[in-house]
């Protein structure tokens, strides 16, 4: 494995002989260090890649120049052509099956008809939405909205004896 320490000592071997004109030892060290700890391309590198692609460079050449995998440049170019934008999209996991408006409607229905069970509410709302929505999803959305299943308990208050 090529590490920055091995590059400094000259132990990397012929594996890292770059063909570019600026193949100094410092740039090789910077590239090796950036490869080991980089998760996302910085904005400067994103715009540099887009500029090279717009100038007519091939995706494989751009990926070699920036020292990233070919698929990264491919996805960046597709995203840029679709959105005219290179900013990273916010992905926080799986998409929700319901929209915010659906959730507000569910809360409103549940508040209006307190006697409906979650299963009845789910089947009614699935029919209204035109797509299946599970009982567990409806239950989670009601909990997020502050509605919980509670039984009204009748308490008998005894007067305090003195």
> How do residues 99-146 score in pLDDT, each as one tens digit?
888 899 989 999 898 888 899 999 988 898 888 999 999 999 999 999
Domain that residue 124 falls in: 100-145
Question: Is 64 contained in some domain?
Answer: yes
Q: Residue 59: pLDDT band by 50, 70, 90 thresholds?
A: very high
Q: Residue 62: pLDDT band by 50, 70, 90 thresholds?
A: very high
Task: Output the domain CATH number for residue 70.
Answer: 1.10.10
Spatial distance between the Cα atoms of 44 and 6, rounded to a whole number of angstroms: 28
Question: Is 53 contained in some domain?
Answer: yes
Q: Residue 16: pLDDT band by 50, 70, 90 thresholds?
A: very low
Q: Are residues 39 and 73 in the same domain?
A: yes
Q: Are residues 104 and 69 in the same domain?
A: no
User: Total structural domains in the chain?
Assistant: 2
In this prediction, residue 10 carries a pLDDT of 52
**Considering only CA atoms, which of 12, 13, 69, 3 is closest in space to residue 36?**
3
Q: Phi first, then psi: what are they for 21, rounded to 5°?
A: -70, -25
Q: Are residues 43 and 78 in the same domain?
A: yes
Question: Is 139 contained in some domain?
Answer: yes
Question: Is 126 contained in some domain?
Answer: yes
Helices and strands (DSSP H and E) totals, the chain: 8, 0
Question: Is 154 contained in some domain?
Answer: no
What is the pLDDT averaged over residues 53-62? 92
Assess whether pLDDT exceeds 80 at residue 17: no
């Amino acid at each position: 494995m090529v590490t920055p320490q091995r590059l400094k000592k000259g132990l990397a071997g012929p594996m890292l002989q770059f063909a570019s004109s600026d193949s100094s030892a410092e740039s090789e060290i910077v590239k090796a260090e950036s490869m080991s700890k980089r998760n996302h391309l910085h904005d400067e590198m994103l715009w540099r890649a887009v500029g090279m692609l717009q100038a007519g460079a091939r995706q494989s050449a751009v990926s070699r120049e920036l020292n990233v995998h070919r698929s990264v440049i491919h996805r960046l170019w597709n995203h840029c052509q679709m959105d005219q934008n290179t900013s990273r999209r916010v992905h926080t996991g799986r998409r929700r099956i319901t929209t915010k408006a659906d959730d507000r409607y569910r809360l409103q229905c549940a508040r209006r008809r307190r006697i409906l069970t979650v299963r009845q509410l789910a089947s009614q709302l699935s029919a209204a939405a035109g797509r299946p929505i599970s009982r567990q999803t409806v239950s989670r959305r009601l909990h997020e909205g502050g509605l919980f299943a509670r039984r009204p308990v009748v308490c008998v208050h005894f007067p305090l004896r003195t």
